[in-house]
Structures are given as C-alpha cells and as structure tokens.
C-alpha cells in the first residue's frame, strides 16, 4: 500500500530527512501506543506521504499535520481531501506556532530532533509517541554516570518521563536510513525537584554540558556567558566541593538543580 502511494505521486525519500516508514506493523504499533479516541487532538510533525496520518485519522477526533515539503503537502491534501478531521499546516515546525493539542505522534526529522523536542517541552500536552534516531533516544533516557548522559537527558528528566518502547530497523523505511530508529513514549509531568527559575536552570545545564569533561567549577565559570552572574568565581567558591570537583555527567538532575538554585539566589542578591 505505502509503496504504491510513493509510486503514484513520484515521491522519493532520502533528502530533507525523508525516510518514509513503510512497515505496516510498526505504523500500527505506534498508533496503538498513543491510545487514541475521538476526544483526542493529535499533532503530527512531518506528515510525509500520510501513512501515519491515515491511521491517526481513523482513531482521533482531530489531527493537525505540520509539513515543510510542498510536494508532500500536495500529497497529503490530495489523499485526504475529503477528511474534515485533518488540518494541514505547511511550513517550518521550528518557526510555526503549534495549535492546541493533547497528544503528539510523529516520525520526527532526525536532523532537528533536539530543537523540536525542546519546543514540545514548552507546551502543555498529555502524551507523546515520538520516533527518533536510536542514539538520540538513548540520550533522552540516559542516567547519570553513563556515556549517553547529556543536556538532553537532564532536560527530558526535568519535563517528563521518557521510555524507549520500540526499536525499528532501517529496513522498515523507504529508502532505508543508515541508522536504527526508536520510538519514545513521553509523558509530561511536574518536575520531581524544585527549580527557582526554570530558564536559569536550563541555561546552567547547557553551560556545564558544553564542557562536560571539565570539573563543574571550571565549567560554570567558563560558561558564565550563558548565566551572566557578576561575581561567579566568588559564588562558585562557596559551593560544596563534593559538587564542584565532579563533572556534569556525574551529577543527578536534582543535584544540578540545587546548584542552579543557589547561584540564582546569590545572583539575585548581588
């Protein structure tokens, strides 16, 4: 079915992250994981030729699809011209305002996975079933003191619970990418730890992971262009040595939050 659609419209993937998922079982599993009903408003990012869109429309009450490629926008409009539940939004997902939705289900463009994910975290939604490059998914769910632990790991843990629920081989796509993919279940929730100022916390996480091999003391001082703390060296000198002598990759998200909270409070009183 999916191969016939590719042939009908003369669409070839491979550029602009266009690797179309054609494995029927994988497509069905992704939609099943979203547990959709007529009450759900779904956001799909990167609709492609509509193979996932078709399944979303069968179960959801409303589906918004954001698609950048004009040729693929044409395919989507032609395939689903008589479906009133679908609204196609042409354009760049990083520049557009999201419509209101409660679930997001998407095979995300791998080259911009990070900014899309961070943009999603700023929105209120119930559930995400999102496909990423496998290595990216590993970083999302990584724990402290592991090789994959990163800024992405900490930010994900701050905003949501995330679990890899499916691993998908290159053969499931047309054309096959050079990497494996993974589907991640993302459930937003309030943070399990207190943060005085969310943006300052996120900036500190960025600063220390930019120099993840340096001890935290030096990473914070060198990354102060992101924090803009006037007396940063003095403040760092007052922080517990048990933190400052470690690297960012050795600290749990709540420990990084403690450091950010202390620096933010001292910045406010300086």
What φ, ψ does residue 131 adopt, rounded to 5°? -100, 130
Paired strand residues for 168: 181
Residue range 57-116, pLDDT digits in tens: 999 999 999 999 999 999 999 999 999 999 999 999 999 999 999 999 999 989 999 999
CB atoms < 10 A from the CB of 25, how many?
8
Whether the predicted pLDDT of 31 surpasses 60:
yes
Residue range 220-268, pLDDT digits in tens: 999 999 999 999 999 999 999 999 999 999 999 999 999 999 999 998 8
**Token representation of residue 96:** 């557009």
Does residue 28 contact residue 55 with C-beta atoms inside 8 Å?
yes
Q: Where are the domains of the chain?
A: 2-188, 198-269
Does residue 193 contact residue 260 with C-beta atoms inside 8 Å?
no
**CATH architecture for segment(s) 198-269:** Orthogonal Bundle (1.10)
**CATH architecture for segment(s) 2-188:** 3-Layer(aba) Sandwich (3.40)
């Amino acid at each position: 079915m999916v191969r016939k659609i590719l042939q009908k419209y003369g669409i070839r993937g491979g550029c602009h992250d266009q690797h179309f998922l054609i494995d029927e079982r994988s497509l069905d599993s992704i939609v099943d994981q979203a547990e959709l009903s007529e009450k759900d408003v779904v956001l799909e990012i990167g609709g492609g030729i509509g193979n996932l869109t078709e399944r979303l429309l069968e179960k959801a009450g409303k589906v918004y699809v954001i698609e950048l490629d004009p040729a693929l926008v044409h395919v989507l409009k032609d395939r689903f011209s008589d479906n009133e539940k679908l609204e196609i939004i042409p354009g760049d997902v990083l520049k557009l305002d999201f419509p209101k939705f409660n679930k997001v289900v998407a095979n995300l463009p791998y080259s911009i996975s990070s900014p899309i994910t961070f943009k999603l975290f700023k929105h209120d939604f119930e559930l995400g079933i999102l496909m990423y490059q496998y290595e990216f998914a590993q970083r999302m769910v990584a724990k402290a003191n592991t090789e994959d632990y990163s800024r992405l790991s900490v930010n994900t843990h701050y905003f949501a619970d995330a679990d890899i629920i499916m691993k998908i081989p290159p053969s499931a796509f047309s054309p096959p990418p050079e990497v494996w993919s993974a589907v991640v279940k993302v459930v937003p929730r309030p943070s399990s730890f207190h943060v005085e100022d969310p943006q300052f916390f996120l900036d500190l996480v960025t600063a220390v992971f930019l120099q993840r091999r340096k001890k935290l003391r030096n990473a914070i001082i060198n990354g102060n262009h992101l924090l803009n703390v006037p007396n940063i060296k003095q403040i760092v000198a007052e922080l517990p040595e048990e933190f400052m002598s470690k690297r960012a990759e050795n600290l749990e998200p709540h420990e990084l939050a403690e450091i950010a909270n202390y620096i933010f409070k001292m910045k406010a009183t300086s």
